[in-house]
Every structure is written in structure tokens, then in C-alpha cells.
């Protein structure tokens, strides 16, 4: 990491942040301020860790102002897959594009959590699933995906989708998209009914929330585009620009009747204002259920759009927020600052 800092290597953007003990400031790896000595540096996996350690953000590189943008090579690969998802991308094809295969695997894995080849296979099988569910035969879908072997196609499909192609019409799918925001990367999951999940990728308990959601819906998560994902991406940009404080993206509240009542109540708290947990409990007609309301608030899977960040302690203090108290404060400050511009 220190060697990456010396090179101001952009491929490490979003991978680590560094705190400088002599100044009390934390920075990005690409910061152009004077490079500190190695003994004066400590590294963090997230801005929140640096903040909790007592460091303040650098005014030069502004480590809190932008999302975790993909390295140029990763961005090129993502665009290439969407432009021509059925194209083969073996090492030789990548070389023709001027891309070193090992570099692609390493950077893609670091940014997306899976190798490029794994992502490409998942995207292709997602398209095959969509085609079969629209009425295309398994054989036609196999040929469209470039598989000469029927057994090879069935094996790949079953491994990624979780069932044989012949049973594709019974599979529920949640389309997944990685979104960049000024407060960090977010994961969004949606289907034709609406948005099921929107949360920061470094949130505590996100993997458990994903597992619970998939189990309840009996659904598979596959990377891909969807109109609901395009809508929430557009509305999030408008939210962070300060031109939108209400979301029109349809949402699906997957939980108990009590949890859903809490989540619906959260949506009635106006931007720029806050409620205590007690006020939220009274709002749903259960004033003694303060702790249960707090648990339901913590189980919310639709960050920002179902604004659990607008709930604070009875004494006005910020309390638990899965995305980190620093984000909760930034969201509240942003909404209060944006109100006159609505």
C-alpha cells in the first residue's frame, strides 16, 4: 500500500485510505499532498475507520466527497460486456483489446469481489435465463450464448442460476447493480415489482441481509440492467445533487407486518427533520414498542430511500446506523443544506 501511495496509483482508489499521524489527516492513495514517511502512516479499509481513529479528511483530496470509482480498466470491461455481452473474452481476446488478462483478473476482483470471467459468465447466464423465460428454447439459448455443447451449457447455467435451464421459468431473479455515491459504493437489487435492497457495500450485516432476502424470496441474485435500477441510479444522483428529496422508485418491503409498518412510517419523516425512536413508535400506534422499533429500524434494507438515518436518540444524539454514524451525520447535513433548493 505504501508503494501504491508513492506512485499515486489510481487502481487503489477505494481499496485503502491512509492516516498521517503527524498531521491528523486521512487521504486517498492518489492524494498529491507531500508524501509522508512510512513510519508516520497507518492504513484503513474505509473512511469510517479513519474517522473513528480520530483523523479528519484531507481538504486537498477530499476522501469523503466521491464514491469509489472503478479503475479505468474495470470501467472499460464493464462497458464492453454491456455493449456485447455474448462476445467471448478469453485471454487472447483481452490481449487484442490491449488488456493484460492477469491485470484484469486482479483489478476486477479487487473492485467487484469476483473475477472478470466470473462476472461475464454470470451476466451471460442471466441473459440466457431471461430469454428462456420469454419463450426461447433451451437449445436456441445455448447456441446464442456460444456453447457448442449442450451439457456444458446446462452445467454452467445450473451452477450460476441454481437450477437446470428446463426449470428456468420457475426461478425468481433479483438483478444487481453497483452504484457509486458521494458517501461510498452501494448495492441495489430489484425485480419487476420494485427495489428490494439499497445499501452501502461496507455496511455491517449486509451479507446476512442478502442471504435472508434470497431465502425469503427464493431468488437468485445476478448482475444485470433493469429499469428499476436505472431509475434509482438517476434519483440517487439527483438526491446527492440536492435537487430531489423524495424518491419515486417503487420499493418492495420484505419483512413482518410490524417491520413494514415501521418502514412505512420512516418514509413519512420529511427530509431535513428527525424523529426519536419513541416518536416513531407513537407514529405507528405502539408507544411502548421503542426497542422493537429500533430493531426494525436496524433491519431496514433500503438505505436513504427508506430514511432510517432520520431517527435519533431521545436526547438528540446520533445512535446506531449500519452504514456508520459518520454517514448518518453527512446525510442529515446534506438534507438540511438542500432544503432551500427544493
Name the helix (H) or strand (E) containing 19. strand 17-20
Distance CA 281, CA 288 (A): 7
Give the three-state DSSP class for 113: coil
Asked if 327 and 309 touch (Cβ cutoff 8 Å), the reply is yes
DSSP 232-272: HHHHHHHHHHTS--S--S-B---S-HHHHHHHHHHTTSPTT
What residue spans of 97-170 are helical by DSSP H? 101-112, 116-133, 138-144, 150-161
Whole-Å CA distances, 133 to 17, 23, 96:
44, 58, 34
User: How far is CA 81 from its chain centroid?
Assistant: 19
CA proximity to 166, closest of 114, 128, 208: 128
Handedness of CA 284, 286, 288, 290 (dihedral sign): negative
Q: Which residues are catalytically annotated?
A: 27, 308
Whole-Å CA distances, 327 to 45, 202, 293, 308:
16, 12, 21, 12
Distance CA 325, CA 174 (A): 29
Residue whose C-alpha cell reads 484531507 in the numeric block: 58
Q: How is residue 274 written as a grid cell?
A: 428527525
Other C-beta atoms within 10 Å of 277: how many? 20
Q: How is residue 141 written as a grid cell?
A: 439459448
Distance CA 222, CA 303 (A): 21
Amino acid at each position: 500500500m505504501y508503494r501504491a501511495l508513492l506512485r499515486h496509483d489510481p487502481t487503489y482508489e477505494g481499496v485503502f485510505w491512509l492516516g498521517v499521524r503527524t498531521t491528523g489527516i486521512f487521504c486517498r492513495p492518489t492524494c498529491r499532498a507531500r508524501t509522508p514517511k512510512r513510519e508516520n502512516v497507518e492504513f484503513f479499509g474505509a473512511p469510517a475507520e479513519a474517522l473513528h481513529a480520530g483523523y479528519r479528511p484531507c481538504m486537498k483530496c477530499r476522501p469523503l466527497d466521491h464514491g469509489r470509482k472503478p479503475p479505468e480498466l474495470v470501467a472499460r470491461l464493464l462497458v464492453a460486456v454491456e455493449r456485447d455481452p455474448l462476445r467471448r473474452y478469453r485471454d487472447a481476446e483481452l490481449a487484442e483489446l490491449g488488456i493484460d488478462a492477469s491485470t484484469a483478473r486482479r483489478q476486477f476482483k479487487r473492485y467487484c469481489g469476483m473475477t472478470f470471467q466470473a462476472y461475464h459468465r454470470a451476466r451471460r447466464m442471466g441473459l440466457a435465463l431471461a430469454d428462456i423465460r420469454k419463450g426461447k428454447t433451451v437449445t436456441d439459448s445455448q447456441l446464442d450464448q456460444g456453447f457448442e455443447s449442450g451439457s456444458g451449457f446446462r452445467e454452467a447455467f445450473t451452477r450460476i442460476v441454481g437450477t437446470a435451464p428446463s426449470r428456468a421459468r420457475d426461478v425468481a431473479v433479483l438483478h444487481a447493480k453497483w452504484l457509486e455515491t458521494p458517501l461510498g459504493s452501494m448495492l441495489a437489487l430489484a425485480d419487476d415489482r420494485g427495489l428490494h435492497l439499497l445499501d452501502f457495500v461496507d455496511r455491517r450485516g449486509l451479507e446476512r441481509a442478502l442471504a435472508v432476502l434470497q431465502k425469503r424470496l427464493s431468488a437468485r441474485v445476478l448482475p444485470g440492467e433493469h429499469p428499476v435500477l436505472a431509475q434509482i441510479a438517476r434519483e440517487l444522483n439527483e438526491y446527492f445533487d440536492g435537487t430531489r428529496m423524495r424518491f419515486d422508485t417503487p420499493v418492495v418491503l420484505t419483512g413482518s407486518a410490524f417491520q413494514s409498518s415501521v418502514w412505512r412510517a420512516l418514509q413519512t419523516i420529511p427530509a431535513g427533520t428527525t424523529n426519536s425512536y419513541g416518536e416513531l413508535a407513537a407514529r405507528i400506534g405502539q408507544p411502548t414498542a421503542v426497542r422493537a422499533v429500533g430493531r426494525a429500524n436496524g433491519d431496514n434494507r433500503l438505505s436513504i430511500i427508506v430514511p432510517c438515518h432520520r431517527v435519533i436518540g431521545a436526547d438528540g444524539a446520533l445512535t446506531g446506523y449500519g452504514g456508520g454514524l459518520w454517514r448518518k451525520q453527512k446525510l442529515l447535513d446534506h438534507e438540511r443544506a438542500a432544503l432551500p433548493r427544493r
